Structure 1
Amino acid sequence: MNAIDLGELAEREEEAQEWEDQRGEWEDSFCTYADRGGNAEQLLDVISTLVDKLENSGPEVLLERLRTPTRDE
């Protein structure tokens, strides 16, 4: 007989709720962006590119690039 770990079950439920809350926040943000005339597909492409860069180099490298001033600044 397998025992159910109630603590682990509660933790999974909390995590699922957190993901659902975050999904709702992102959905609201995208809708607001599109409602104000933004190109939602272009925004998703940019976010996808950032996620790919994070997966390939890690967050530290991307954060360092964001902190480094560009020639235009």
Structure 2
Amino acid sequence: MSNAARQLSHTLRAPLPDAFDQLTDTDLAELHRYLQATMARRRETLDAAIGSSLDFVPRLMRPAIKKALGL
């Protein structure tokens, strides 16, 4: 298994399907880069959604809600 395949497998936290053996290291590295960018974008979107949802919570309850959510 190449280094690019190992990195992609580690990021996915799962073994790669057998068909991925047909991809080149360049393709695997590009797929890994796309996956990391998507995960970062998802993390930012979720953080923004959580932050904006706290606007609907009364101000005095926000510390308790943040604590319950682990923020």
TM-score under structure 1 length normalisation: 0.45
TM-score under structure 2 length normalisation: 0.47
